[in-house]
Amino acid sequence: MLKKPDSSHVYFQKLGESKIPIFSGIASDNNRLILKSIALNGPMLKYSISKSAKIGRYSTTSRRIDNLADRGYVAEAGKRVTERGKKTEESMYGLTWKGFIASITIDDVRANMLRVLEINPLLVFPEKELILSLAKEIMTPQELETITISLVEALLKTVPDFELVEDKQLFFMVMSALVGLRLPKNFTLSRIPKDAWELLDKPAILQIVKEKIVPFLKHYADGIKAMYLLVSAFEGFDKFFYELDVKDQPSKKIKEFVETRLSTFKEEAKEEEDHG
């Protein structure tokens, strides 16, 4: 585990060179520039990558991109008509999961990891928009950096040959690494309050609950018996959520609503039992 944040640049450069073949040899600098450019800008045409990465000759950039595509670090992420020459339709290149892991050994990419995930469409995972929105709200840049360092270090140390790992396998390896992540002692997410309900006081999280979580619960409430006490008892909970506003201090309002509904439900259940 890294102990000094200011040593991460050298550490990751050496770790990348030892574990990721494209970061060693005469083409390593160009490979880094290309992956960094795509990571921070999203899918681009070869010509745009050449200008952004400032490698020099377009032919050099084109060969490097083809090589990175053959080795699974980038892939076609759509097409676009060129604005130069004969205005032909050409491929746009985006990061694969292999390219993502490789690219976050680069300082600027690692510092913008959430944005990289957001703008690179080949990096797909369930509820991507929801998870990224939550991550922005509950983690500071420094906390995200700490988690990223631990994640990449764990992945690269356990993968025997990075180039032999398929993209789908790498995604599941990332998920497995997250589950068993070993973070520095006493590490905490400073933005998560002791009373988790207070997260609803954040406008972005309140909106997520309204748009994603409440409709999900409402949709499945009738069909999931195990959720009966949690959902079916709260008749009108969806309308209540939609009417919440940050200025109303949602954390207190939701607790009052839950306590009232639970109390009502218990009384109704007791009455049914007494008459049963």
CATH number of the domain bearing residue 32:
1.10.10.10
Look at the chain and report how many structural domains it folds into: 2
Q: How far is CA 34 from each of CA 5, 103, 171, 247, rounded to the nearest angstrom?
A: 25, 9, 21, 46
Same domain, 223 and 135: no
Top mean pLDDT of 53-62, 74-83, 137-146 is at 53-62
Pair 55, 174 in one domain: yes
pLDDT confidence of residue 219: 63
Q: Is 63 among the domain residues? A: yes
Q: What is the structure's pLDDT at 5? A: 44
- Please enumerate in sequence order all residues whose Cβ is within 8 A of that of 121, keeping only pairs 6 or more positions apart, or say none: 42, 43, 77, 78, 94
Q: Do 46 and 174 fall into the same domain? A: yes
Residues 48 and 122 in one domain: yes
Looking at residue 162, its pLDDT comes to 80
232 lies in the same domain as 169 = no
Model pTM greater than 0.85?
Answer: no
Last residue in a domain, options 179, 209, 237: 179
